[in-house]
């Protein structure tokens, strides 16, 4: 199975729905002259178009249809083995000056980069069809919604964008009625899927993205990390809102009290699981609903609260480890109309991955297309294999997911994957301290990006790979938002991944995370107790509901232990980050660091 497919010749009435916007037409013609595709396919998002593209994608081997009885409307795609994750070292921010991109981004000169890309794209779509995908990020009637156009020569991208965004004529209409006429230009070409000719380039000043040489999700679904986060964060600072790498969930008590919470974790740290969590039995009557599982766009409402929308239309979640035990709502969601990427296929056209419920099949075809048996040394599914599924499949979808003004956020949670140092949960003293806590977030690296697995790295607000401008300016933007909020969300930090002396996880996680959420909600409502510590507020034993959970007092003590020696190391690690940020760090955050160090007596 391969991404590279020859041109298709659609019948009349399909792929010929050209928009009337002259700017769009001129831009597309410019890219046509450069890339010389055999033909142009204008996507309108209709069902007929979708059926046709699915049929062609199967004929050309871009996707395989899965067992229609078991997984109706679902398909498998395999990417190249050298193209299975985001490539941060080849992700570039192209701004007029290096300082605008800042020390945490890979900066490149825009003019030089355009020139290099133009060379690479010359004739790149010869023999292929160029698809033009209009799409909206955000509920169509939201003041935050943004229109984008993605040009691509990948059928897989078209099929995925139909799931992940509101795609087609709806976007063309939105652009026609928009006041500012703002839209994002995205160009993607697979080229020859060569890691040496792979670049993901952002031009924030031009509201433009050019991605070449990859077929993998985060590199090529330009709506997602590229527009909704990198370009989005740049626009957000300019326009006074926030674009964040956060899930958004609703928590409703049995009495009908409802709160919304946004949470930032690095890629592949359980955002999707948390956003779809089912509370344990003891929390009977509590309901968790999902607004989004990856990205939050947030604006200040008239009442001085922070309001969030999910710009996306679907979930692009990590598959391995997903089961009826870890995430029943995700399992129910991915039983139909799902595109699976890089999982294993069983002989009866079903899918398999490590951590799925039930016994492994006796035989399967692994993610690379090779025979696989339970005795194989290789993994059946790639650790970063993914599902793409419309959010509408989620049984826990929140009723207000389409609300244009967004939902009011009561709490913001930051979290990383840390074996030590970080307690299960703590609350920041205030917005400024919370900004510091987010800015100092760190996490062990996962398979979502090519890199050193397991290494702890600073990942401020889980935005390290996604902030489209200088991280120091980004912190300043956060510090400015706080005072503008009459009712700012409370800010928390969680760590589901702390380990004991024997190397095993101390906290059961998954649905039991409801217990942490409950304390957070109690704090938001003003009746949850806490103890003040050097790092913030933590629940005392009597503040934290453990009923129905078998866990020893000793384990709980370990989970909440604040160890001076670990924190001395942590503060030194934070200092290292400050040093890398050189002159860009806002003085408020330096003051926060000094205060933290002082609380630990240094
Ligand atoms: O970058 S992806 O969108 O492919 C997934 C992630 O890393 O969060
Ligand atoms: Mn993500």
Q: What is the CATH number of the domain that holds 139?
A: 3.40.449.10
Atom 2 of ligand 1 has which residue's CA nearest to it?
218
Give 423-466 pLDDT, tens digit per residue: 999 999 999 999 999 999 999 888 777 777 778 899 999 999 99
Q: Are residues 261 and 225 in the same domain?
A: no
**Range of lowest pLDDT (44-58, 149-163, 445-459):** 445-459
- Please report which confidence band the pLDDT of residue 582 belongs to, taking 50, 70 and 90 as the band edges: confident
Distance 297 CA to ligand 1 centre (A): 17
- Would you say residue 378 has pLDDT above 80? yes
Q: Are residues 167 and 261 in the same domain?
A: no
The alpha carbon torsion through 110, 460, 299, 175 (nearest 10 deg) reads 30
Residue 352: inside a domain, yes or no?
A: no
- Please report which confidence band the pLDDT of residue 2 belongs to, taking 50, 70 and 90 as the band edges: low
How does DSSP classify residue 312? -
Specify the CATH number for the domain of residue 288: 3.90.228.20
What mean pLDDT comes out for the span 73-94?
96
Q: Are residues 139 and 265 in the same domain?
A: no
Residue 133: inside a domain, yes or no?
A: yes
Give 310-355 pLDDT, tens digit per residue: 999 999 999 999 999 999 999 999 999 999 999 999 999 999 999 9
Which of 206, 240, 274 is at the close of a domain? 240
Q: Residue 48: give the domain boundaries.
A: 22-69+82-240
Which pair of tokens denotes residue 381? 């599914």
Residue 541: inside a domain, yes or no?
A: yes
Our mutation pick for probing the ligand 1 site, out of 209, 224, 266, 340, counting the most ligand atoms within 8 A of Cβ, is 224
**Residue 239: per-residue pLDDT:** 96
Percent of the chain with pLDDT over 90: 96
Q: Are residues 233 and 255 in the same domain?
A: no
Residue 578: inside a domain, yes or no?
A: yes
Distance 225 CA to ligand 1 centre (A): 7
- Would you say residue 1 has pLDDT above 80? no
* Residues 156, 3 contacting (CB under 8 angstroms): yes
Q: Are residues 233 and 249 in the same domain?
A: no
Which of 199, 217, 240 is at the close of a domain? 240
H or E stretch including 558? helix 553-560
Residue 146: inside a domain, yes or no?
A: yes
Q: Per the structure, how many domains does the chain have?
A: 2
What mean pLDDT comes out for the span 569-581?
94
Ligand index nearest the alpha carbon of residue 316: 1
Residue 597: inside a domain, yes or no?
A: no
The helix-helix angle for 471-484 and 587-599 (nearest 10°) equals 80
**Residue 448: per-residue pLDDT:** 75
Whole-model pTM? 0.97
Distance 186 CA to ligand 2 centre (A): 19
Q: Are residues 416 and 477 in the same domain?
A: yes
Residue 140: inside a domain, yes or no?
A: yes
Angle (CA) 140 144 149, round 5°: 65
- Would you say residue 3 has pLDDT above 90? no
Ligand index nearest the alpha carbon of residue 294: 2
Q: Are residues 294 and 208 in the same domain?
A: no
More confident residue, 174 or 455: 174
Residue 510 Rama label (left phi>0; alpha psi -120 to 50; beta): left
Ligand 1 interacting residues, C-beta cut-off 6 A? 86, 217-218, 224-225, 267, 316, 448
Q: Are residues 443 and 549 in the same domain?
A: yes
Q: Are residues 236 and 300 in the same domain?
A: no
Give 244-296 pLDDT, tens digit per residue: 999 999 999 999 999 999 999 998 888 999 999 999 999 999 999 999 999 99
Which of 213, 240, 267 is at the close of a domain? 240
Residue 572: inside a domain, yes or no?
A: yes
| Atom of ligand 1 at shortest range from CA of 294 | 8
Active site residues: 269
Q: Are residues 97 and 165 in the same domain?
A: yes
Q: Are residues 195 and 282 in the same domain?
A: no
What mean pLDDT comes out for the span 117-131?
98
* Residues 491, 412 contacting (CB under 8 angstroms): yes
Q: Are residues 545 and 487 in the same domain?
A: yes
Give 200-246 pLDDT, tens digit per residue: 999 999 999 999 999 999 999 999 999 999 999 999 999 999 999 99
Atom 1 of ligand 1 has which residue's CA nearest to it?
218
Q: Read out DSSP for 36-89?
A: --SEEEE----HHHHHHHHHHHHHTTS-EE--TTTSTT-EEE---TT-SSB-GG
CA distance 94 to 204: 7
């Amino acid at each position: 199975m391969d991404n590279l497919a020859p041109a298709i010749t659609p019948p009349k009435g399909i792929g010929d729905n050209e928009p009337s916007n002259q700017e769009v037409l001129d831009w597309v013609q410019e890219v046509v002259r450069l890339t010389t595709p055999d033909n142009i396919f204008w996507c309108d998002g209709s069902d007929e178009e979708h059926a046709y593209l699915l049929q062609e994608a199967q004929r050309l081997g871009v996707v395989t249809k899965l067992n229609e009885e078991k997984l109706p409307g679902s398909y498998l795609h395999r990417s190249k083995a050298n193209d299975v994750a985001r490539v941060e070292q080849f992700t570039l921010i192209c701004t007029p000056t290096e300082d605008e991109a800042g020390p945490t981004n890979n900066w490149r000169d825009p003019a030089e980069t355009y020139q290099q890309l133009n060379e690479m794209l010359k004739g790149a779509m010869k023999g292929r069809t160029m698809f033009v995908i209009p799409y909206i990020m955000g509920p169509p009637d939201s003041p935050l919604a943004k229109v984008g156009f993605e040009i691509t020569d990948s059928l897989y991208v078209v099929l995925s964008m139909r799931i992940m965004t509101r795609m087609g004529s709806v976007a063309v209409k939105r652009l026609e009625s928009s006041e500012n006429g703002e839209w994002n230009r995205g160009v993607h070409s697979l080229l020859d899927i060569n890691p040496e000719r792979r670049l993901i380039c952002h031009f924030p000043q031009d509201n433009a993205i050019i991605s070449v040489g990859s077929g993998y999700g985060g590199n090529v679904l330009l709506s997602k990390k590229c527009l909704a986060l990198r370009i989005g964060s740049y626009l957000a600072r300019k326009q006074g809102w926030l674009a964040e790498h956060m899930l958004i969930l609703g928590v409703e008590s049995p009495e009908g009290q409802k709160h919304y919470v946004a949470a930032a974790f690095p890629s592949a740290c359980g955002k999707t699981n948390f956003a779809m969590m089912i509370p344990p039995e003891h929390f009977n009557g509590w309901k968790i609903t999902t607004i989004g599982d990856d990205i939050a766009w947030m604006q200040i409402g008239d009442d001085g609260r922070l309001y969030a929308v999910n710009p996306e239309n679907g979930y692009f979640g990590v598959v391995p480890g997903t089961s009826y035990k870890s995430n029943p709502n995700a399992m129910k969601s991915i039983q139909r109309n799902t595109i699976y990427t890089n999982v294993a296929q069983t002989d009866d056209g079903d899918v398999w991955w490590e951590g799925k419920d039930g016994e492994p099949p006796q035989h399967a075809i692994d993610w690379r297309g090779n025979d696989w048996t339970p005795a194989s040394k290789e993994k059946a599914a790639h650790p970063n294999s993914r599902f793409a599924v419309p959010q509408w499949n989620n049984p826990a979808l929140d009723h207000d997911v389409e609300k244009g003004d967004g939902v009011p956020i009561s709490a913001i949670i930051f979290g990383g994957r840390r074996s030590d140092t970080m307690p299960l949960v703590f609350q920041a003293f205030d917005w400024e301290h919370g900004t510091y806590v987010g800015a100092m977030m760190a996490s062990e690296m996962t398979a979502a990006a090519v890199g050193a697995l397991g290494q702890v790295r600073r990942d401020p607000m889980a935005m390290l790979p996604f902030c489209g401008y200088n991280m120091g300016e980004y912190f300043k933007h956060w510090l400015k938002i706080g005072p503008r909020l009459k009712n700012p969300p409370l800010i928390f930090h969680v760590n589901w991944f702390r380990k004991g002396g024997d190397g095993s996880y101390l906290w059961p996680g998954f649905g039991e995370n409801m217990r942490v959420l409950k304390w957070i909600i109690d704090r938001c409502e003003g009746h949850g107790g806490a103890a003040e510590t050097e790092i913030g507020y933590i629940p005392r034993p009597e503040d934290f509901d453990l009923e129905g959970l078998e866990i020893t007092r000793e384990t709980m003590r370990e989970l909440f232990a604040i160890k001076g020696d670990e924190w001395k190391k942590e503060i030194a690690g934070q200092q290292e980050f400050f040093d890398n940020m050189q002159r860009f760090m806002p003085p408020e955050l330096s003051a926060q660091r000094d205060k933290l160090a002082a609380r630990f007596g240094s």
